[in-house]
């Protein structure tokens, strides 16, 4: 098969596919040129991440397409039902980036509770002249241990995140529409293992009791965290979104931060990507990253291999 990895694929994945006789084209083709390129090169498989959109229009134009592969969890950039109606298989890699996303969430949390983002910005500018003042400014951080970590969306990523939170000595409360209970297995470097049973609760409990909330749900038609939900949170709490832009009402979030109704927030995704508004970029209580939740060396390798293995099974 001719495989176009339009948003890239790890070398491990390429090696596995080429070893089994497939041709992998690693080229980023512009969206408007994609259909013509695929037809000219008789592409049978299109691999994407979040940048390339595989909509009905593209699916209708491409002649030889048999499989669409998404390197990641969500499929909101693919018209899945239309693809399936055309006999095109759609695959993704829901487990490959769980560890990476969970790490990033914890990083954003520490930026919030220990002021790491602001301290890192100000130390190069004022560290030499105002060391004592900076020390005083950032000496009121809080610890993770003993706090409550709320998780909205308790699938693979949410459960992986729960392991991190438990390891930090935090209580975990979670909400999920479809999961009533999850078994969280903590495996340590020496082979020891501890199991935790976590029963999910209602969303309001997560919102009102948590010291930090992390969102792990698919793309929504409208925000699930807006003015009402933010007002129910503790004013000392923080909220982190590494799932999809638009899940948090950004206007309401900025207002809550500015009015000290919320201590901090962390965003890896935005309503308007790739041009987040300046009011978000410049807010001192926001820890920001450019949609890199699953973008680690290890995750990219796992994603490439997992996609390749699924394609080999199909073929």
List residues with catalytic annotation: 244, 273, 291
Closest CA to 315 of 67, 102, 64, 146: 67
User: For the chain, how many residues are written?
Assistant: 315
User: What are the backbone angles phi and psi of residue 235, rounded to the nearest 5°?
Assistant: -65, -15
CA distances in angstroms from 224 to 149, 220, 295, listed in the order given: 18, 8, 25
47: preceding bond cis by omega (within 30 degrees): no
Instruction: Output the DSSP codes for the chain.
Output: -EEEETT---HHHHHHHHHTT-EEE-----GGGHHHHHHHTT--EEEE-SSS-B-HHHHHH-SS--EEEESSS--TTB-HHHHHHTT-EEEE-TTTTHHHHHHHHHHHHHHHHS-HHHHHHHHHHHTTTSHHHHHHHT-----STT-EEEEES-SHHHHHHHHHHHHTT-EEEEE-SS-SEEEEEEE-TTS-EEEEEEE---HHHHHHH-SEEEE-----SS-SB-HHHHHHS-TT-EEEE-S-TTSB-HHHHHHHHHTTSSSEEEES--SSTT---HHHHT-TTEEE-SS-TT-SHHHHHHHHHHHHHHHHHH-
Distance, C-alpha 186 to centroid of its chain: 21
């Amino acid at each position: 098969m001719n495989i176009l990895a339009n948003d890239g694929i790890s070398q491990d994945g390429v090696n596995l596919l080429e070893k089994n006789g497939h041709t992998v084209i690693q080229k980023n083709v512009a969206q408007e040129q994609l259909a013509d390129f695929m037809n000219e090169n008789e592409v049978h498989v299109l691999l994407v991440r979040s940048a390339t959109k595989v909509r009905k229009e593209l699916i209708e134009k491409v002649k030889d397409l048999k499989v669409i592969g998404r390197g990641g969890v969500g499929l909101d950039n693919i018209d899945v039902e239309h693809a399936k109606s055309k006999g095109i298989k759609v695959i993704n890699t829901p487990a490959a980036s769980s560890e990476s996303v969970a790490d990033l969430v914890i990083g954003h949390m520490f930026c919030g509770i220990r002021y790491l983002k602001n301290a890192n910005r100000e130390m190069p500018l004022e560290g030499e002249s105002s060391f004592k003042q900076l020390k005083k400014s950032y000496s009121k951080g809080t610890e993770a241990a003993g706090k409550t970590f709320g998780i909205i969306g308790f699938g693979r990523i949410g459960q992986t995140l729960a392991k991190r939170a438990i390891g930090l000595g935090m209580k975990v409360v979670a909400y999920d529409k479809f999961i009533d209970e999850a078994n969280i297995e903590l495996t340590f470097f020496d082979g020891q293992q501890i199991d935790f049973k976590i029963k999910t609760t209602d969303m309001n409990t997560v919102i009102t009791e948590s010291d930090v909330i992390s969102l792990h749900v698919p793309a929504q038609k409208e925000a699930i965290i807006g003015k009402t939900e933010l007002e129910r949170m503790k004013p000392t709490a923080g909220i982190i979104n590494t799932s999809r832009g638009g899940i948090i009402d950004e206007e309401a979030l900025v207002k809550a931060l500015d009015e000290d109704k919320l201590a901090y927030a962390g965003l890896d995704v935005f309503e308007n990507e790739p041009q987040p508004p300046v009011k978000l970029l410049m807010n001192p209580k926001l820890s920001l990253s450019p949609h890199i939740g699953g973008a680690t060396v290890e995750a990219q390798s796992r994603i490439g291999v997992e996609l390749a293995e699924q394609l080999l099974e199909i073929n």
